[in-house]
Structure 1
Amino acid sequence: MTDEQLRQEEFLRQQAANKAFRQRGNLDPEATAGAQACAAEVSRSLNLFTSGGQDEPEEEAVRQAVSATGLLDVVVRPPGRLDLGPGDGLLFAGWTGRACVFGSVRQDDIRVEIGTRIADGGCLPAPA
C-alpha cells in the first residue's frame, strides 16, 4: 500500500470510531416481543398527532403521549448535530426495562424503532 492509501485507511478507521458511541447491540430475543408491543402502542398514540395534516406536535404533548404508554426515562427533544435521522421535528426515546423504543415525529412522518441502548449508555445520544 502507498502512504496515501494508508493515510486514507487510517482516516476511515478513525471516522468509524468517532461514530461508534451511537452503535446499538443486538436486542435479546426475549425482550423483542415486549418492545415491539410498546413500539406499536407508541406509534398509535403518536399517529393521532399527525392525522389531518395538523402542525408538528409540541415537545410536551409528545412527552405525555410516550410516557402514557408506560415507558421509563422518556426523552423528547429536537435533533442535535450528533443524531442520525431527520434534522427537523422531534426525537423521542423511552426504556421498557429491557429495550429502547425510540424514533422521530414530524408533521407528516412518524418513525418508531426498538433496540438496545447505544454504546454510551442511553437510548439517544446526548444532545449537542
Structure 2
Amino acid sequence: MKIAIPVIDDSKHKYDIANGFNSTGSLCLYNKDSDQYSWIRIADLASNMGELLPALISKDVDNVITKHIHPMALQVFILKGVKVYLSEGFNLKENIDLFNQSKLHLCDAISSYADIQICGGQCSVCSTECNEK
C-alpha cells in the first residue's frame, strides 16, 4: 500500500504537509508495507496537474492524505479507486501514524467544498488564507 502526501518541498520542509497539490510543490510517497519514505517534486513526476493522477497510479499509489482537495479532483481520484483522507494539521509523520491507526477521515464532497465556499474559487491559490481578490 502506497500513500501520496503533498508536502511543501523535498528538502527543508519535506515533513510539512502542503495545503494541497500544486505544480511547484513536492510529494512524499510512503510505502506502508515497508515503512519507507521517499520524496519527489511534482514537476518531475508529471509535467502538468492533469497527468498527476495517472503518474501516481503508475507508482501504485492507492491512498492520498491532503489538507485540501478541489471537489472535481476528489471525484476523479475516487473514480480511479484512490482514497483521499484529510490530514489533521500539517505534520507528515503524525498523519502517517493516524492513518496507520485508522484515525484519519475520508474526504467527502461536503468537506472538499469547504474552501470553495470561503473564496469562491476565483484565483489559482487554494488556501483559506487567500487575500487575492
TM-score > 0.5, shorter chain as reference: no
Class of the TM-score when normalised by the shorter of the 2 chains: under 0.3
Structure number, greater radius of gyration: 1
TM, length-normalised to structure 2? 0.25
TM, length-normalised to structure 1? 0.26
